[in-house]
Amino acid sequence: MKSQDKGLIYLYCLTNKPPHQYIGGGGKIPKLKEAEDLVDNAHFLYYQGLYAVVSNVSTDEFSEENLKNNLADLEWIKTKAGIHEKAIETVMKNSCVIPFKFGTIFNTEENLKIMLKKHISKFKDTLKYLEGKEEWGVKIYCDIDKLKENLIREDKEFLNIDKEINSVSPGKAFILKKKKVELVNTNVNKKLNDYGQLIFEKLNQHSIESRINKLLPKEVTERKEEMILNSAFLIKKNKVENFMEAESALKEIFQEMGFFLDCTGPWPPYNFCEATTYGAKRTPACRQAGKLYG
């Protein structure tokens, strides 16, 4: 544990299940067997009914200064965040987890235990609450040009304006054209909100809790369509099938109009591990929520 280059403790997640099912050999420290090829020396630390899934990481990578440098390296982030996710997913296969944010690091086991002690009842309540539930994500994208074309084609008002433009003086036509552009834009925005809300509400019927998160730019989404809704749902396991059926149906209906639904899951409950928001529906994303533990 105290080897020179593995001096830090990286925390992936907490769980409340005894880890005996993961033990490879008869070692003292239960190991996270399936993630061994991914995470060097991942193992469990027991504290008062909780199991912290941790690994020893090197200061070369994770000291404050080195981590800051590494965060500038996108490939490094992708690799390490992938490991973070995989480690948690491995545990998630067999038990309920509280995922921690990427890069939650302690100098010593003692410090980790002090943190656990401080929040133990909250963590236990959260795990109890999350039992039998899954997080699913739905992101909606829109091909705005396609939506525009559809609106112009289907709305008679625009046809009438076009007719008028062709029959009036150039000066008046200019004003009418401007009016048309404004009208199209207003309609597009209205449709984005209306349809986005409609889809969200339909999906939300199957969830226990939901979040609307910030939109992400194209550089991040790597898609040509605009993201118009970024949502996360906490769903009872036995309702996931219903949720997915609803999602498929909506996907088909809205595709014609230029909307694309991207549904992923089950995720570790990244969006639903604040202990104080139990049962709250449609809570807007709260960036500061994590601070509840701080």
Q: Which of residues 193-222 bind another protein (CB under 8 A)?
A: 193, 196-197, 200, 212-217, 219-222
Residue 98 binds another protein, judged by CB under 8 A: yes
**Contact residues for 145 (Cβ-Cβ < 8 A; gap 6+):** 258
We find the least distance from the C-beta atom of residue 28 to another protein, in angstroms, to be: 24
Residue 159 binds another protein, judged by CB under 8 A: no
Q: Which residue has the tokens 């010593």?
A: 108
Which lies closer to another protein via its Cβ, residue 207 or residue 271?
A: 271
- Closest by CA to 90, choosing from 163, 16, 34, is 34
We find the least distance from the C-beta atom of residue 63 to another protein, in angstroms, to be: 8
Which lies closer to another protein via its Cβ, residue 28 or residue 220?
A: 220
Single out the segment in contact with another protein by CB under 8 A; choices: 26-34, 48-56, 154-162, 280-288: 280-288
Give CA 197 to chain center in angstroms: 18
We find the least distance from the C-beta atom of residue 139 to another protein, in angstroms, to be: 8
Of 7, 95, 106, 109, which lies in the binding site for another protein, with binding defined by CB under 8 A? 106
What amino acid is encoded at 254 in this protein? F
Residue 50 binds another protein, judged by CB under 8 A: no
d(CA 259, CA 265): 20
**Alpha-carbon Rg of the chain, whole angstroms?**
25
Of 5, 21, 78, 168, which lies in the binding site for another protein, with binding defined by CB under 8 A? 78
Residue 71 binds another protein, judged by CB under 8 A: yes
What 3-state class would DSSP assign to 178? helix
Do residues 211 and 136 lie in contact, with contact meaning Cβ atoms separated by under 8 Å? no
Residue 132 binds another protein, judged by CB under 8 A: no
Q: Please report, for residues 110, 124, 270, 278, 289, the alpha-carbon distance to residue 294 in angstroms, rounded to integers and kept in the order given.
A: 17, 16, 17, 18, 10
**Token reading at 188:** 């597009």
We find the least distance from the C-beta atom of residue 113 to another protein, in angstroms, to be: 12
Which lies closer to another protein via its Cβ, residue 150 or residue 221?
A: 221
